[in-house]
Structure 1
Amino acid sequence: MLPMRRLGKTELQVSEVGFGAWQLGNGDQWGGMTDALAHKLVHEALDLGCNLFDTAPNYALTHSERLLGEALQGKRDKVVIVSKFGHQAGGGLDFSADWFWRSLHDSLSRLKTDYIDVFLAHSPPMAVLNGQHEIWPALREAQQQGKIRYYGASVDYAHEVRETLQTTDAQVLELMFNILHQDVRLAFDLVRQQDVGVITKVPLDSGWLSGKYNAQSQFAGVRDRWDDAEVRRRAACIDDLQWLVSADRSLSQQALAYLLSYVEVSAVIPGIRSSAQLQTNFSSAGSSLSSAQRSTLEQYWNRLTHSGSQLLPW
């Protein structure tokens, strides 16, 4: 069974490796996924001790939430569900209080539940992260009504973490954090001070840290955002990181172990689209890098980004 960690001051216990459900039911990317396979993957994750499932309305055009709701029937009291609001299923952003309530009720319906454990503002603009924005009173009201248990935001950078934690009462953050994107760790002092639960998204840098891409890789769909120069630069980074690989530890396992070496991190949520991928991801639970290895990777990122002044594009 997977080791558990406390999700900050929420006191929820979550599996160190969770189930990132962005690819669940996605029929137009990565070769597609049938409903039957989606259900099978969720059930396999449950059997291995995973209790943390992360989704959003815009994942697979609402199918991710729907499939999770179907697969988790009869297991609701055994799992922690994270969902989000702000990104509309058909595209576009809306962080108004009115849309928040509509989005929440729609998510509850698709997930076949009367509460969501963690509800997050989904990569919002900076103005939304300030506690004066109208979503924060709405989140508190939804919590008081029992429709959500805890709330916070999904963000990418240290300055967004600081704005959220200095101006709101967020209890959970979902952070873009991996070996090549370490900016958020520069705000971990505030995370520790406020005992905020941290879930790390994009832990394998959209597949690069799985070791399956190289300088000749071609991308389509959402991943065609990388031009040829960026593909070559990322491929060079992967070459630089080969010292992490050993006979019994793959690059992806070590990349997840790097994140789990931080006490501030409650869980990692790699995407899952096959049983083999699920097994590889979950095998990283219970592991972490040594302090020396972690320090080496932090220094590597400092050199790569000129101490965070020249970040890699997502």
Structure 2
Amino acid sequence: MVGKLKAHWWSPRRSLKTFGAEMKQHSAAWVRLSRPKSSLLSNYGDELNHILLAEVSGRSVDWAPLGKEDVVAVGSILVPYFTQGGVGLIWGSGLNQPSVSPEQAARVSERFLAVRGPRTRDALGLAADIPLGDPGLLVRNFGIQASPRRIPKLLIPHFTVYNSNAGRRKMKALASAGFTIAAPNLPVRQMLHHIASSDFVASSGMHGMILSHALGRPVQLISFAETVDPEPGYKYGDYLASVNLHTEVISFTEVLANGKARDALISRAIENTEAVSVAIDELNTGLLAASRALR
């Protein structure tokens, strides 16, 4: 076994530069997400890197700044990777916008082990046979146990929802309608346990959807915006295309529905989760094969 694996992921508590940007843009959210202290200034989707990379590499994992990392993995980290001097291998990372050119990618083509989805692959001009998939899908293999005490309805808000009074009022409305709120700075294994124990998940962040699909739980992508574009954003579409699924974003108000409307919503979520199951298994096979370079 070789030494520690140095990995980079988005982490305001580990980077002064990122911390400064977050305090400027989202200080209200982070102040309200100050508990638990062990998860201060963290986001479960990004922190997933620590657990996943240790699992697939068999090595202990330390965070490292870009330019000193061995690997980047979960997250839309490729724009910073190319603009801030990343040097590590790329395993399942994605773009949040198509602003990295194929010429830039070609100069480091040997670093690509896998990317998140076909939008990232095509924007970077990568080979058609490069493995695809968000590494978060591999939690399917973790043996996460559901609690005997079910969570009928789980809400996983993006951390930016905590920024405004309007966002917090909307979350409160969902809580009043019976949703359990899983804060986005929960420790990763606690979040996975919540998802595995849920009958229905509403998420306004991408990894709430990815992890729910991986664990076989019905999930609906929602928005807290005043005006909702039903077409998922670039990075969401990248993931959805990787599992051959087209789904719309809906307003948070739609998951407050009762009766037939609620039943139809949950039925669609169940169908979507069942539809992506085979694709997830296939993507995971490719991701695991590609991860051998990290051992």
TM-score, reference length from structure 2: 0.26
TM-score, reference length from structure 1: 0.25
Bigger proportion of residues as helix: 2
